[in-house]
Amino acid sequence: MVRYAGEREATLWAQTRDAGELTVRIGEKSWSARTFAAHGHHYALVLLDGLEPGQVYEYTVEVNGEHAWPQPDSPFPAPFVKMLKADRPTKMAFGSCRTSVPHDAKHNRTNGIDSLRAYAHEMARHPRDERWPDLVVLLGDQVYADITSEAMQEFIEEKRGLESEPGEELKDYVEYAHLYRLAYSEPAVRWMLSTMPSAMIFDDHDVRDDWNTSLAWHEEMNKTSWWHGRIVGALSSYWVYQHCGNLSPEALAEDEVWQKITAHTGSDELDITDMIEAFAEKVDRDAQSYRFSYTRDLGESKLIVVDSRAARDLRPGHRAMLDAEELDWLDGELRGDVEHLFIGTSLPFFMPEGIHMLEALDEAACDGAWGKTVASLGEKMRQTIDLEHWAAFSDTFFKVSDMVLEVARGERGVAPRTVTFLSGDIHNSFLSEVQDADGTKSRIFQAVCSPIRNPLPRHVRAGQSIIGRGLAWPLREVVERTKAVRTPHYTWRTTHGPWFDNNLATVEVTEKGLDFRWEAGEIVDGDLEHPRLRLVSDIRVDSDGDSNRMDSKGDRGRLQTWQPLGMRIVEQVKKLRR
């Protein structure tokens, strides 16, 4: 997998069958690294340097001197590394929530067509096309540790039996290693990830649904016999399979785990099992001991990827989405002096207004604003319907909101043309824009793409739409009349969407602003092996205030149908007040 690609440096990650040396070759140049091991699995991260900005390099991989990649019989084009160039406009793909199940007709009916796989096949048909992104940002739920596939369950059954705790859910690192193998080794996706650089961040299902929702949730998990092994396996495998590849060579050099790996000078393979498990235990005990958030310089743009899961502070009286160390780091990174600022966070910062208000009310209830009985009900509601986004950590929401508005007003350097949150998690896709924010020079957007492959049942889609917009007005009426909940002094509006089918989105910097596209996979003429891409929506945003839109048939304005219901509820609230 090509993970990082800058202007002159890149990193390539691999899992190998055997211990030894992995070598990457580009023409006459080569770079090598010895493998390191964890729980009997072997890995290498090779740092490539001395490359030229904007160039495209085909490469091959050898393990212990034997050719290993690309495979001789591969139907896909030769893998390559595409380097960034400062004056070339940035283009990123992004999305979240991808289940790893077969791609036959049965699973396409239940899980939908895998939009990442469809994108990979489209790329393979035209591999050097300039339309393809510079990187893909995977914003959470790359794997589902709590909702496992038949293939994963077969592995668990053979390893320990499904009757032992935690049953069909993952228990440890070895099971995570198999789950990642299932997620990344589908041939088209494997080829795509060996060609397109990737940045990743976890969300709850990478560990377990509602991970770190609240202190009550955390205490309940710690009562089980299996949670300790699960969280240690989750965090240690996350560093190996996702996080180490997120970092630039400069950031890697400062990483405490990587420093221990590179400090090994012996000829034997370094086994990091004990070290990486101790690291995971420390992070679980003290979120401030390590930072999973990171940045990438994209030339005229900057990407900040924020950990909104492991960095939480759940202590009573200190409840925060980001602990003090994480918030200070973000405060230092949120600066202008770039054309476009992108903030990747698995959880949408600007949720549909009705859901935002409901989460803010629920947090106040859980904090005891209306007594212990309501607090208990609020906690049950929080966990049952996932009321745990930024609005449910209101103190952090307003602190980060203030930072972003300062950037947009030009108080932290020259204001960018746009500030855009890129998110996933909620199993629908949309574009929102901040309104009525006094003094801002930047347009502020929230772009969501979810799922890549895991669609919601239709009745849940309806419920999201009702709460998101249909109940926005009455919930705002309630919030504005209680002192227990703080309301923003600005508003935001969903301008496009939602779309509920599987999608992969792209955002491209243009001369006038940004171009957002959502694309879904489709099967043409029954060809399950070669899915195609279908345009869902193309939204072209002018940084001076205009936007144009093109849609595929049947995907327009699905959420607007719930507006009349919301208006009727508002009228009833007004009557009751009178």
Using the structure block, give the residue that is written with the tokens 């309940």.
Answer: 220
Q: Which two tokens mark 210?
A: 């509602």
Count the residues in the chain: 578
In tens, the pLDDT along 430-465 reads: 999 999 999 999 999 999 999 999 998 776 776 666
What CA–CA distances, in Å, run from 49 to 4, 78, 142, 411?
Answer: 12, 20, 29, 36
Rounded Cα distance between 573 and 567, Å, is 10
Domain membership of residue 406 as a residue range: 89-246+286-577
Query: Token pair of 18, please?
Result: 């055997």
Axis-axis angle for helices 353-366, 372-384 (nearest 10): 140
Does 199 reside within a domain? yes
pLDDT at 267: 86
Report which DSSP code applies to 560.
G
pLDDT in tens, 270-309: 999 999 999 999 999 999 999 999 999 999 999 999 999 9
Q: Which of 116-125, 466-475, 481-490, 546-555 has the highest mean pLDDT?
A: 116-125
Burial class (CB in 10 A: 0-12, 13-18, 19+), 499: buried
Q: What is the pLDDT of residue 502?
A: 97
**Whether residue 571 has pLDDT greater than 80:** no
- 257 located within any domain: no
- Pick the closest to residue 287 from 307, 269, 312 (CA basis): 312
Burial letters for 179-189: b for 16+ Cβ neighbours within 10 Å, e otherwise?
A: bbbbbbebbbb
pTM for the whole thing? 0.93
Note the pLDDT of residue 481. 76
Residue 81 β-bridge partners: 57
Measured distance CA(558)–CA(567) in Å, rounded: 17
- What is the mean pLDDT of the segment spanning 158-170? 97
pLDDT score, position 562 = 39
Amino acid 544: pLDDT: 81
Measured over the CA atoms of residue 193, residue 199, residue 205 and residue 207, the dihedral's sign is: positive
Residue 326 resides in a domain: yes
Mean pLDDT of 138-161: 97
Task: Report percent pLDDT > 90 for the chain.
Answer: 84
| Residue of higher predicted confidence among 355 and 446 | 446
In a domain, 495, yes or no: yes
For residue 66, list its beta bridge partners.
63
Averaged pLDDT for residues 501-508: 97
Four-point Cα dihedral 109, 115, 118, 123, nearest 10: 180
At 109-145, the pLDDT tens digits run 999 999 999 999 999 999 888 889 999 999 999 999 9
- pLDDT exceeds cutoff 90 at 554: no
Q: What's the number of domains the chain is made of?
A: 1
* Residue 274 resides in a domain: no
**Residue 479: what pLDDT?**
74
Q: What is the pLDDT of residue 125?
A: 94
Q: Judge residue 356's burial from the number of C-beta atoms within 10 Å of its C-beta, 0-12 exposed, 13-18 middle, 19 or more buried.
A: buried
Residue 306's beta-bridge partner residues? 345
Q: What is the mean pLDDT of residues 258-275?
A: 95
Check residue 551 and give its pLDDT: 61
User: Positive or negative CA dihedral for 539, 554, 435, 492?
Assistant: negative
Q: Is the per-residue pLDDT at 77 higher than 80? A: yes
Q: Is 225 among the domain residues? A: yes
Query: Span 39-55, mean pLDDT?
Result: 97
CATH code at 212? 3.60.21.70
Residue 66 lies in a domain: no
CB atoms within 10 A of CB 553: 6
**φ and ψ of 403, to 5 deg:** -60, -45
- Look at residue 83 and tell me if it is in a domain: no
Tell me the average pLDDT across 251-259. Answer: 97
Give yes or no for a contact between 452 and 96, defined as CB atoms under 8 angstroms apart: yes
